[in-house]
Amino acid sequence: MRAFAAKYKTTITNVALEALDVDDDPERGFREALVILLKLNPEPTLVEKMFQATDARVCSASELGSHIRSQEIFDHLRACVEDGRSSGGPAKPTHGVGVILYNMYNTDFRLIDVIPVTFSASHIHLHGRGDILADWEESLFRRLNEGILE
């Protein structure tokens, strides 16, 4: 699942920022996360075709399951932002968004991957995210399910 996520890092990042509307509320990522439900494709030939996205939605901390687990997700996101701040560089992150990839359709084992997306104040109000701005869900499904890499 991590290799799949790595292939779609740009798409996932852009969709997460749009879905959580960080332009209007940069702090929202510390209260809610983007959850993308995936289904394992039978006999995939390429990493980018390994999963099919079946649903995506923004969930509050209470909707993510146990309080302890959801708190871990948001604590991890805050830690990633702090690590980015201390590592230096011109665009130190000030905020973040959590993305949870979840394969809930496999009854033998359920795969989960939590991806922290950090961004700086300079990334807020960025324009030019292309068709992501129009309809983030449609864009996400089209890109992930058709194997479109950015």
Radius of gyration of the chain (CA): 15
Structure confidence at residue 66 (pLDDT): 84
Q: Please state the pTM of the whole predicted model.
A: 0.87
What is the β-pairing status of strands 111-119 and 51-60? Answer: unpaired
Report the mean per-residue pLDDT for the chain.
86
CA distance 31 to 34: 11
132 has pLDDT over 70:
no
Q: How many CB atoms lie within 10 A of CB 57?
A: 13
30 has pLDDT over 50:
yes
